[in-house]
Amino acid sequence: MPTPDTARGRHALSAALGIAISVGLLWWALRGVSITEVLRRIEGAHLAPLALAVVIATLTFPLRLIRWRLLLRDEQGRPYRVIPLWHAIALGFTANNLLPLRAGELIRAYTAARLAPARFSTVLSSVAVERIFDALAVVALLTLALLSPDLPPNLTVGGQSVAHLARAGAIAGLAGLLMATLVVAAPLTAERLVRRLLPFPRIASRIVSVLEGVRQGLVVLRTPARLAGVVVWSLVLWLVNALGYYVAFAAFDIPVSYLGALLLQGLLILGISVPSTPGFFGPFEAVIVAVLALYGVPKDVAFSYAIAFHITSFIPITLLGLWSLARNPGAFSPRRRAEA
């Protein structure tokens, strides 16, 4: 078992790695770009579509709340109250924006356990299941975007053709769905399969532990109506999120379609999964610059769009999270609270 000093050392190393990656990607995104030109383009941006895009991006958080209430249930199968779960979401995403090491998910789970109140393990399981459906929805929409007629027919990404990536995305999405079904329907079979395929007992045990947590979260979806609801709201969430990127294109006169926004969203989700600074500064801008280059968008325009939309969409949920913290100063105390 790692000692506290070892854990602190690993956290410090992870934070340093995240900073290094973020700085490197930010340097790449800015290479050859005039800061003066970026500021000029941001100053000349159309405010109405940018403001509308920020509103749309912020609406995804209430959509997350609707879906979370389908996933997180008490022992009688009833959903928890809206306000405590909203505070947990707002605080969690604010923490992701302000704190290192992606602390937001743990803070969201801890806050929900205190304010709902709910079992911490149950909340963590529901968050893990959220991530599964997020991944399935994003991969499905990314696959659709890769078939867009807007892209050059001979386009390759990382040396692979777009058609090949689309097929790989479809296969990955189907495999993920089958794995989720196996974990729920036959947990013992899933455990045996993991232990048989992995020759390393410690790694296999960790994966089995994760699968058990996911299985506990998926149990609530054995009701067909609830499962359908989670699937629908997951798709709605990511379709609305992509709409925010699309509407923001108009602020900088970027001639990219909604399917292009879906492509941008899918690759962006993959890009910000690397270690980075709080708020994902660096990976966010680099991915947007790289994706918009596929459509012939100049680098200075793409970077201006990326940094403007990043910062403006960052502000509302951060302010909402700080407001939730002010309303619930005891959210992080050891004592559980039933009131929000």
Q: How confident is the model at residue 10 (pLDDT cuts 50, 70, 90)?
A: low
Residues with Cβ within 8 Å of 288's Cβ and at least 6 positions away in sequence, in order, are: 29, 264, 268, 302, 303, 305, 306
Computed over every residue of the chain, the mean pLDDT equals 83
pTM, rounded to two decimals: 0.83
pLDDT digits (tens, 9 = 90+) for 50-70: 999 999 999 999 999 999 999
Residue 235 is predicted with a pLDDT of 94
Of 27-41, 55-69, 142-156, which gets the smallest average pLDDT?
142-156
Residues, the chain, total?
A: 340
The residues that bridge with 161 in the sheet, in sequence order, are: 156
Q: Which of 7-21, 98-112, 113-127 has the lowest mean pLDDT?
A: 7-21
* Neighbouring residues of 89: CB distance < 8 A, sequence distance ≥ 6: 61, 64, 65, 68, 108
Tens of pLDDT, residue by residue over 173-209, are: 667 666 666 665 566 677 777 777 777 777 777 777 7
The closest alpha carbon to 118, from 75, 89, 167, belongs to 75
Is the per-residue pLDDT at 339 higher than 50? no
Q: Name the packing angle between helices 4-30 and 299-327 (round to 10°).
A: 140
Residues 324, 90 contacting (CB under 8 angstroms): yes
Give per-residue pLDDT as tens, 219-250.
Answer: 666 777 888 898 899 999 999 999 999 999 99
pLDDT of the residue at 214: 62
Instruction: Write down the residue that tokens 């895009």 correspond to.
Output: 53
pLDDT per position as a tens digit, 250-292: 999 999 999 999 999 998 998 888 777 888 898 999 999 999 9
pLDDT bracket for residue 13 (50, 70, 90): confident
| For the chain, percent of residues with pLDDT exceeding 90 | 40
| CA pair distance 311, 316, nearest whole angstrom | 10
Give residue-wise pLDDT tens across range 213-225.
666 666 666 777 8
- DSSP H helical ranges for 186-329: 187-197, 201-218, 224-249, 258-271, 283-293, 299-327
Give Cα separations from 196 to 32, 45, 189, 193 (angstroms): 51, 57, 10, 5
pLDDT computed for residue 181 by the predictor: 62
Helix (H, G, I), strand (E, B) or coil at 131: helix
Question: Does 337 have pLDDT greater than 50?
Answer: no
The CA distance from 140 to 262, in Å, is 10
DSSP state letters, 22-46: HHHHHHHHHTT--HHHHHHHHHTS-
- Taking CA atoms, 163 is separated from 142, 157, 257, 260, 261, in Å, by 12, 10, 19, 15, 18
